[in-house]
Structure 1
Amino acid sequence: MTGVTYAPLPLATAQPPTTSPTPFTTPNTDNCPNKTTPPPPIDTSEVPAPGESAPKPLPIPNPPIGGDRLGGCGVVLPSGAPGLPEGISATAFVVSDLDTGKVLVAKDPHGRYRPASTIKVLLADVALRVLDLNKVVIGTQEDANADGTRVGIGPGGRYTNRQLFQALIMASGNDAAHAISAQLGGDEATVAKMNSMADRLQAKDTRAATPSGLDGPGMSTSAYDLSLLFRDAMTLPLFAELIHTEQVDFPGYPADPKNTDDKDHPGYPIGNDNHLLFEYDGALGGKTGYTDDARQTFVAGAQRNGHRLAVTLLKADVLPFRPWEQAAKLLDYAFALPSGASVGQLPNASAKSTDSTVVVASPPVIASTEPADDTASDHRGLRNTLIVGGVILVLVLLAGARRMNRPRR
């Protein structure tokens, strides 16, 4: 697969630093250190707002979702499987089959960690189902002020929802996440919708605190849950298309009319920030993530010999290999396992079921197949009259036929 030209992100880089503050060691999770909550934060991002308290830890399902073996906290391998490849720094991971839902290999699968921007998979799974992709959204200063990685949305810019999803999934734009969540009723309402969908999918270790993946009080997911969320999102054709897209053009925005020195900001190309897409044969794409507290997070899929697998990594490091390289090693390992190898199962719950909590703040404008204005009412009235008349005619003909066939006395 050929490389891609990455546009310089105007306000922040999409990738974290390439150095690690600590030397690499393989994390040991045998004693379940993160069974109830993620590791302690290293900054103040999860401090509750004044007057609020941190949410309590999510309940731990019993028995474990996905099977008893997935209740373990160390490495979980199929019977007779070889040892794992060297150099996996992810504290937790899961490799699963996107089609059958079988979990092939895992480490601390239900341990709770922070998702960082991989939670955008859940945001996309919610929003793609309800937003009109052709609707034009006007960028705001609030979008432009979003914390963290931004794709470069500017006040007054005109963006279709399709372009916002491209920015969200390909370039991990937190400004795009803000513009999308605004259409779902704002951050608080969007987070509620995301958590409702996670619960419906049986992702019981997952609680979103922000739409974008920025750390917040109570934020949590697991390698198992992230596999489940990714599998459900992959049932959406546009999501599968976008994670596999290498580069698109993104619109610019007009000059600030209040600033005489400002000029129009031209559009520019944006590239997919997932290196596995370009470096791994059969890669389907995926989503990257990073915060100081979450460290490196990653989810992606690949296809080989008719099999589609997904890999999720949580609390990984860049040493001795980048997350996409660790993912590649785990995918190679899982693809080589014998047919039928399994240590558990993803549930088959689907977000396609109707949920009254997943609604759009303002219904999208969708082209109608009915004539507009009063003509539509007239046509509907004529149609109803013809239907009623037809029913009456059928009843009259049936009654006449019955009289003709009645035996004479």
Structure 2
Amino acid sequence: MKIPAPSSSPRPSFPPSSARLRHPAARRWTLLGAAITVLFGSVLPPASIAFADDEGTPLPPTVTVSTPATADCAQRVSPAPAADTPEDVATGSTAPAPLSVPTSPVGGKALGQCGIVVPRGTSALPPDISAAAWMVADLDTGDVLAAKDPHGRYRPASTLKLLTMNVLLRSLTDVDRVVVGTDADTEQQGSRVGIGPGGRYTVRQLMLFLMMGSGNDVAHALAVANGGVERTLTQMNSRARALGAFDTRAATVSGLDGAGQSTSVYDLALIARSDMKLPPFPELVATKYSEVPGFGEYPAFGIANDNALLWGYAGALGGKNGYTDGAGNTYVGMAERGGRRLVVTMLGGTQQPRRQWMQGASLLDWGFAQDPGVTPIGFLVASGAQATASAAPDGSSEIPVTGPSGTLTFGATGGGSGTGASAAPIDTPSEAAVPAAASGESSGIAIVVWIVLAVLAALAVLVVVAGLRGSGRRGDHG
């Protein structure tokens, strides 16, 4: 008899498998869902799309949600104090001093602002973004298209694994080398893929599992294979400086909160851009399914990539999501459309009004909709040397404008973030992101949409009931 995997090795959840679609009722449900998507998908508001949220139902399109005000640059120097997760310092040691703040903003003058910064002439920003900080940038040109608190310092959670990978891809060049799992790997806190003592894994497999399942057990195994955790941390911090990621300091190889650890949405974009130039990273980060070898008496098992962007966004290239109590939800997503590749980064986020990857998808949609010739608000530097010498693009001090980042009414059809004359940060909370007329029009559309959805839901129930009755008569139970 096969022994189940240990409870200390949680498995990621899987997307629906073909086995679940053998039942006639399930097939009818699937066909109905496809019809709904084709017929009504284009008219549904952004808040109603894609996968069911198992961590909280997305809010209706007219619910008001607050996003943190950041124009006071409160996190310019370091992340806010952790309320519930103390970042312990080793006995006999002192907490590291905050990283120094460059005298000029890396990537251009406009990126020194802490509110929302966008170029004039662009369309209204998506209204469903609740992250404290975010950025949209072009992976190929390095242009920064829009941002909120671009150099604010936040806890990275598992998005820090992108920096871990940046180091390991340079150090562990023999990806066929076999690494043997240890008890210490299985004892790591937080998320684990499920490698175990005595298990044999290639470096390539471990890198794949690190990106797919965000395993802290895997991060530890790779760090040990790289010469130890402390050596890997030293390399990570050295690599951050070499990239020009001056807001980033690694205290853990996994992204678990640690004393002095921080990053910014700007730095995450730099790191992700660098990763995408390092084979086989683009292939690893885009892999949807894989199998983890067994160990001891425990058999091999399959895993699916936990970045839902790969499942729900056309052109998705991959990315990394993360969460700790201190960091909140963090996210990096990348996609390609029309020969253009964009990256979105988010820190200090929540799963409302929609899950983080859905909010990232909204920002990617916004970025792809902009004219490629629009003047960027800044740029991603190519190195630490360029970061030190970086200056604003020509005329950029007159281009960027900011919009409100306080209270936004979701489901609104417009926003004030695309027009204005001042480049000074504006973070004054408002009752709505749009004029009353626009908001009223949106509410009317929302009512119609909800009525349509109610009718479709009723039809779906009838189809399922009919399918169950029919399958019972035929004796087909899948």
TM-score (norm 1): 0.79
Does residue 179 of structure 1 match 2:221? Answer: yes
Does residue 193 of structure 1 match 2:230? Answer: no
Q: In the aligned structure 2, how far is the partner of 1:187 from the partner of 1:219?
A: 15
Q: In the aligned structure 1, how far is the partner of 2:229 from the partner of 2:155?
A: 18
1:14, 1:172 within 8 Å by CA — same for their partners in 2? Answer: no
Q: In the aligned structure 1, how far is the partner of 2:271 from the partner of 2:373?
A: 23
Does residue 332 of structure 1 match 2:357? Answer: no
Which stretch has the larger CA shift, 220-229 or 9-18? Answer: 9-18
Say which of 208, 214, 225 aligns to 2:250. Answer: 208
What do residues 139-194 of structure 1 show as CA deviations (whole Å, max 9, x unaligned)?
A: 10001111110011111111111111111111000000000000222111111100
2:11, 2:303 within 8 Å by CA — same for their partners in 1? Answer: no
Q: Which residue of 1 aligns with 2:285?
A: 243
Q: Which residue of 2 aligns with 1:11?
A: 9
Q: Which residue of 2 aligns with 1:156?
A: 198
What do residues 313-352 of structure 1 show as CA deviations (whole Å, max 9, x unaligned)?
A: 101000001000000100011111112221100011289x
Q: Which residue identity is paired with 1:89?
A: S
Say which of 370, 382, 385 aligns to 1:348. Answer: 382
Q: Which residue identity is paired with 1:75?
A: I
Q: Which residue of 1 aligns with 2:333?
A: 300
Does residue 146 of structure 1 match 2:188? Answer: yes
SS in 1 for 2:137: strand
Q: Which residue of 2 aligns with 1:42?
A: 83
**Structure 2 gap ranges (5+):** 14-52, 58-63, 386-478
Q: Flag the 1:13–1:290 CA change in 2: closer, same or farther, 3 A.
A: farther
Q: Which residue of 2 aligns with 1:288?
A: 321
Q: Displacement of 1:125 after TM fit? A: 0.9
Does residue 28 of structure 1 match 2:61? Answer: no
Query: Between Structure 1 and Structure 2, whose CA radius of gyration is higher?
Result: 1
SS in 1 for 2:274: helix
Q: Displacement of 1:44 after TM fit? A: 3.7
SS in 2 for 1:324: helix
Q: Displacement of 1:45 after TM fit? A: 3.8
Q: Which residue of 2 aligns with 1:359?
A: none
Q: Flag the 1:44–1:109 CA change in 2: closer, same or farther, 3 A.
A: same
Q: Which residue of 2 aligns with 1:103?
A: 144
Q: In the aligned structure 2, how far is the partner of 1:46 from the partner of 1:235?
A: 33
Q: In the aligned structure 2, how far is the partner of 1:136 from the partner of 1:265?
A: 19
1:118, 1:213 within 8 Å by CA — same for their partners in 2? Answer: yes
Q: Which residue identity is paired with 1:130?
A: S
1:14, 1:149 within 8 Å by CA — same for their partners in 2? Answer: no
**How many equivalent pairs are there?**
334
Q: Flag the 1:89–1:128 CA change in 2: closer, same or farther, 3 A.
A: same
Q: Displacement of 1:11 after TM fit? A: 2.6
Q: Flag the 1:8–1:140 CA change in 2: closer, same or farther, 3 A.
A: closer
Q: Displacement of 1:62 after TM fit? A: 1.5
2:112, 2:150 within 8 Å by CA — same for their partners in 1? Answer: yes
What do residues 1-57 of structure 1 show as CA deviations (whole Å, max 9, x unaligned)?
A: xxxxxx99853466998249xx94122111111111111102344121221111111
Q: Which residue of 1 aligns with 2:170?
A: 129
Q: Which residue identity is paired with 2:115?
A: G
SS in 1 for 2:66: coil
Q: Displacement of 1:278 after TM fit? A: 0.8
Q: Which residue of 1 aligns with 2:207?
A: 165
Q: Which residue identity is paired with 1:159?
A: Y
Alignment of 1:221-236 (within 5 A): 221-236=263-278
What do residues 235-260 of structure 1 show as CA deviations (whole Å, max 9, x unaligned)?
A: 01211101110001110101xxxxxx
Q: Flag the 1:44–1:318 CA change in 2: closer, same or farther, 3 A.
A: closer
More helix as a share of residues = 2
Q: In the aligned structure 2, how far is the partner of 1:334 from the partner of 1:9?
A: 42
SS in 2 for 1:269: strand
Q: In the aligned structure 1, how far is the partner of 2:149 from the partner of 2:365?
A: 20
Q: In the aligned structure 2, how far is the partner of 1:174 from the partner of 1:13?
A: 13
Q: In the aligned structure 2, how far is the partner of 1:24 from the partner of 1:72?
A: 23
Q: In the aligned structure 2, how far is the partner of 1:185 from the partner of 1:235?
A: 24
Q: Flag the 1:116–1:240 CA change in 2: closer, same or farther, 3 A.
A: same
Q: Which residue of 2 aligns with 1:68?
A: 109
2:12, 2:303 within 8 Å by CA — same for their partners in 1? Answer: no
What do residues 275-305 of structure 1 show as CA deviations (whole Å, max 9, x unaligned)?
A: 0111001100111100000010010110011
Q: Which residue of 1 aligns with 2:452?
A: none
Q: Flag the 1:185–1:298 CA change in 2: closer, same or farther, 3 A.
A: same
Q: Flag the 1:317–1:9 CA change in 2: closer, same or farther, 3 A.
A: farther
Does residue 117 of structure 1 match 2:158? Answer: yes
Task: Give the RMSD, CA atoms, in angstroms.
Answer: 2.0
**Structure 1 gap ranges (5+):** 1-6, 255-263, 352-409
Give the number of the structure with larger relative contact order, counting CA–CA contacts within 8 Å between residues 6 or more apart.
2
Q: Flag the 1:8–1:346 CA change in 2: closer, same or farther, 3 A.
A: farther
Say which of 250, 267, 278 aligns to 2:300. Answer: 267
